[in-house]
Structures are given as structure tokens and as C-alpha cells.
Structure 1
Amino acid sequence: MPISLIAGCGDVGSRLAEQLAAAGWQVHGLRRDVSQLPSCVLPVAGDLHEAACPASWPTGELDYLVYCAAATQHDEAGYQLAYVEGLRHVLAWLAEHGQRPRRVLFVSSSSVYGQQGGEWIDETAPAEAQGYSGRIMREAEQLALQSGLAASVVRLTGIYGPGREWLLTQVREGYRVASEPPLYGNRIHADDAAALLAFLLQADARGVTLDDIYIGVDNEPAALHEVVGWLRGQLGVSHWSEQQTVRRSGSKRCSNARARALGWAPQYPSYREGYAALLADM
């Protein structure tokens, strides 16, 4: 039975924990408020921002570490604290306990890519975003990859799902979006994001050789005006707001070919299936 620890066990981390536990894994989950953890998770109450190791950190062997933090403060200092300093703390806690996991999975973001012309992007594309989020994510990725432990980075694209309904709110309010030039966006349902992480961990446990980097995205990057148009139809929205527009920067199309080549496939292959499921639950 592999033993894993998910540091930053929030929404995606908890979904991952449930999938691993269902497969017979032992799962420790670290977060500040452990009352929010699924019942299948062994709680580790701790703060990634603090250098002191949590008192309930597991002392035995750890086969896998997943670093799945989310910044609570959305500025440069907040990102540095959540992704770089937090990871540095966790790596120090592993060393403190003499633990050397078989692999570290660092959950990153497609914000590392600065491409804006609708280009197709894969894991070999330059990751040279100039914004602080992309720069800091790259720094944290390098920290994981150069940690002396086997490590893989998973760059998730725009996560949506229960509790992540920003675009639905925008559509209901009649927000407009430019169609020329098309603004291409990339997304992945929260369940698929967790399933990809679980798939990679289980592949590693079977002895499959993993790459350093994977992109987590569905099969069909789509122009934002197309997604908004489809959602308007599903929601029965006919009005347009006078002032409000959906604003977003960047335009790129991310490929999941590398993950698919390993045998992974998303449960929700495009925004249509994912949002249909979300709307049905609502």
C-alpha cells in the first residue's frame, strides 16, 4: 500500500486523496483547517508558510509527496510564500525526518506560458511568462526538479467545477467577449485535474517512467466567445450587459498529448461535457 502526503490538501488535493484512498493508498493531507479534509485522509494540521514542521507530520516512510498549494494572497509576495517558500519548508521537513519519497509531484500552472497568439503549446514550448505568477511558478518548479528527489511538474490549466463558477456568473450577467481575434482558453474540470495526478502517481508506482513536465488540460482548447455563446444557450441568457466584458490576457492552446500517450484521458473531454455536468448538479 503506497503512502502519500498531499501538502496543501484543498479542493483538488481532496479530490485526489479520495481517488487514491479508493485505490487502497494511505493518504496524509496537510492543511491549516483539517476539519475540511475528507474522512479517508489522515490529518496533518500545518501551515506551509511556517518554517516549523507540523507536530502531526508522519514519521514513517513516505512513498509520494504531492505539493498542491493554492495562494491565499494573490500578489507577488503571496505567490512567493505559497509556492516557493512553502515547497522549501516541505522539502526541509522531509529531510528532517529522513524521508525520501519515490517521487514528488509539484502542481503548477499554465501561467508559466506567455504565448498570446493562439499558438499550440506543449511541454517543450518556452515557458517565459513575464507576469509574477508565471515567473514564481517557474522558480518553484525548478526547486522541485532540482530537489535531489525524482520529481514531475503538472501544469494545470483553468480549473472549473463545483465552487469554481466564475465564468457562469459572468455569463449570467451578460458579459461580452471579443470574437476577433479569438481569445483561446484552456480548462480542466477539477475531477479531471485530480484524476491526472492520481494517474501519474499510480503509473509511477507501477514502474512507468514519467517525464519532468505534464500539462493538465482537456482535449479541446476553445475560443472564449464560443464557450460563452454555448453557456448562454444552456443558461437561457439573452441579454447583453452594456458595460461589462469578460477580460482575460493571453491566448494559447495547450495540448494534453503527453499525458494521453501514457494512457490518461479526461472524463470531461471538453467544456461542453464538464459544464453540462456542473449545471445538472446545480
Structure 2
Amino acid sequence: MTGSQVLIAGCGDVGTRLGLQLANEGWTVYGLRRSVQELPVAITPVAGDLSASQCPADWPQGSLDYVVYSAAATVHDEAGYRTAYLDGLRHVLAWLVQHGQTPKRLLFVSSSGVYGQQEGNWIDETSAAEATSFSGRIMREAEQLALNSGFGATVVRLTGIYGPGREWLLNQVRQGYRVASEPPLYGNRIHVDDAAGLLAFLLQADAKGVALQDCYIGVDDAPAPLHEVVAWLREQLGVSHWDEASTVRRAGSKRCSNARAKKLGWTPKYASYQQGYGAILQGVAKN
């Protein structure tokens, strides 16, 4: 099915990659963000501030088939999270009602941070999502707001996003980053192209009449201990020194499963950190 219309509210890095994928499939894509001059020409700009109650002047007219809420907090405290994920979503829902628009589905881009498990447990969409951090609690509130919006809604809990321009771990490793190996601190990640790809896959599946569930985890095939990832990156980068001052002992440790998304037919392009970081390093080498 082509010709669907989608609004991506909070059209940043992931949203732009999503929008380009859909535009290439013949979709009409609207991207809502503050600085629309950064959007590619394939995405119709909607200049607006999600934290403001005033509807953007460029809000799409006519029907909207899909809405993706993909905001990111710019202030990382409790008030900043409430503004980005709760207030912003409430505003978008109100603007839809204001324009009489009834999208077939709302995708809310959430985070695996809603899970509070810390013992290396395997996590799926049915696992308890009871994080005690303010970020996890607020994200759960926002998920419930989306699911109870009156529209068909699906929550997509993305894990740690990495990729071009998201190279924090690579930079830390170059500086001699050391991670405790016992107990192993399992981390979960998804390449930014796969994050966008999963969202596109779900929208396209829904457009074809596939029944979506209310939640999917976005993660690659291979959760891995952080010390293993660091060791591999050190080898690839030729780093031999350690910086004792940057030793990290993180509290959180869990392994997220992508079985539900894969059962639907999705496959990540970068199945593991070796493939994803390998592609980044090859890109660096070419440059």
C-alpha cells in the first residue's frame, strides 16, 4: 500500500531516517520540529514546538493515516521529561482532535528504560515495566497516555541507539574506558537505521492490514556484556591503555528480546554490535 500520510512529531535523527524510508515507498511524510530547515526535501516541514499548546500554523490539513510520536527530551530532569513526553503528546492528541483527524494508528517511541530489572534478566514485552527512575516512570505514564488515547496505538521501546553521530561509546573506548566484568553488565542496543527501520516496518505492516500488538521492543539480536563490547572495540581501534578514572560499574543489567518483532517479520540490518560498530568504523576509515 502506498499513498499513506504520516506525521512524525519530533522529527529528529530517527524520525528523519524513518521519514526518508517512507517517502521512498510513496508515503506523504510531514515532519514536525522546531528547526525545520534541517529536514530533507522529501519531508514536508511542520514548524512547531511540542511544548507549546498552540497548534503549529503548518499543521497538515485533511486526513492523517498515521502519527509517530518520536520526541526527545532536551532537558534531562523530571520537568524536562514531563514536557517532552507527556505535555508534548497531550498537545499532539489535542491538535488531532482540533482538526477532526483520526489516524489509524499512533506509534509512540518509548524506551527500554521503563524496565527496572538489574540482574541480567531476559526481558520481553510481557515483563514487568516498573523502573523507579523518574525517566522510566514518566515514560510509562506517556505510554499509557498513548495507549488510552482513543486511537489504535502501539508503543515501541527502543534500546540504546547508536550509529553515525552517536559514537559516545567509541569515544570513551579511545580514552581508555574500563568496565567491570563481574558481575557482567548486559547492555542492549539498536543501530539508528534499524530503529527507523523497525518503525517503518510496523507502519507498513499496519497499512497492509497486519494486526499489530500494543508493544514491541526495538533491539538487535545479541545483547552483550558491556565489558565484552569494550574489549572488542579496543581491539578494533588498537587501544592499549586504560584510564582508571573512567572505570564504570553500572547498576542496570538486562537482556532485551526482539522475538515479537521478528515473529512479525522484521529483521535488523545490524544483528549485533560487531556488525553495527564495524560499519561505523569502516565509514570512519573511508573518511
Shorter chain as denominator, the TM-score bin is over 0.9
Distance in 1 separating the partners of 2:107 and 2:247? 36
Residue 229 of structure 1: which of 208, 224, 231 is its match? 231
Residue 173 of structure 2: which of 171, 175, 179 is its match? 171
Distance in 1 separating the partners of 2:206 and 2:251? 35
* 1:239 partner letter: H
Q: Which residue of 2 aligns with 1:258?
A: 260
How far apart are residue 247 of structure 1 and its match?
A: 4.8
Q: Which residue of 2 aligns with 1:19?
A: 21
How far apart are residue 246 of structure 1 and its match?
A: 3.4
Residue 101 of structure 2: which of 99, 102, 111 is its match? 99
Over residues 21-55 of structure 1, what are the superposed CA-to-partner deviations in whole Å (9 max), with x where a residue is unaligned?
A: 01110000000000111210000000000000000
Q: Which residue of 1 aligns with 2:205?
A: 203
Distance in 1 separating the partners of 2:281 and 2:227? 19
* 1:216 partner letter: G
How far apart are residue 123 of structure 1 and its match?
A: 0.1
Over residues 217-246 of structure 1, what are the superposed CA-to-partner deviations in whole Å (9 max), with x where a residue is unaligned?
A: 000000000000000000000001132113
Deviates more, 1:190-199 or 1:32-41: 32-41
Asked if residue 140 in structure 1 is aligned to residue 181 in structure 2, the reply is no
Residue 121 of structure 2: which of 119, 124, 131 is its match? 119
Seq. identity, %: 72
Q: Which residue of 2 aligns with 1:76?
A: 78
Over residues 101-156 of structure 1, what are the superposed CA-to-partner deviations in whole Å (9 max), with x where a residue is unaligned?
A: 00000000000000000000000000000000100000000000000000000000
- Over the residues paired in the alignment, what is the CA RMSD in angstroms? 0.6
Q: Which residue of 2 aligns with 1:180?
A: 182
Over residues 65-120 of structure 1, what are the superposed CA-to-partner deviations in whole Å (9 max), with x where a residue is unaligned?
A: 00000000000000000000000000000000000000000000000000000000
Structure 1 residue runs of 5 or longer lacking an equivalent are none
Distance in 2 separating the partners of 1:173 and 1:194? 30
Distance in 2 separating the partners of 1:242 and 1:204? 50
* 1:20 partner letter: L
Distance in 2 separating the partners of 1:136 and 1:219? 27
Asked if residue 59 in structure 1 is aligned to residue 48 in structure 2, the reply is no
Q: Which residue of 1 aligns with 2:194?
A: 192
Q: Which residue of 2 aligns with 1:42?
A: 44
Contact 2:69 2:89 (8 Å CA) reproduced: yes
Structure 1 length-normalised TM:
0.99
Contact 2:112 2:217 (8 Å CA) reproduced: yes
SS of the equivalent of 1:188 reads: strand
Distance in 1 separating the partners of 2:244 and 2:188? 27
Structure 2 length-normalised TM:
0.97
Distance in 1 separating the partners of 2:180 and 2:203? 40
Distance in 2 separating the partners of 1:247 and 1:12? 29
Distance in 1 separating the partners of 2:124 and 2:245? 36
Q: Which residue of 2 aligns with 1:239?
A: 241
Distance in 2 separating the partners of 1:249 and 1:64? 37
SS of the equivalent of 1:243 reads: helix
Q: Which residue of 2 aligns with 1:269?
A: 271
Over residues 176-227 of structure 1, what are the superposed CA-to-partner deviations in whole Å (9 max), with x where a residue is unaligned?
A: 1000000000000000000000000000000000000000000000000000
SS of the equivalent of 2:244 reads: coil
Structure 2 residue runs of 5 or longer lacking an equivalent are none
Distance in 1 separating the partners of 2:220 and 2:94? 34
Contact 1:170 1:246 (8 Å CA) reproduced: no
Change (3 A) 1:277 1:141: same
Runs of 4+ displaced beyond 2 Å: 246-249
Distance in 2 separating the partners of 1:247 and 1:54? 44
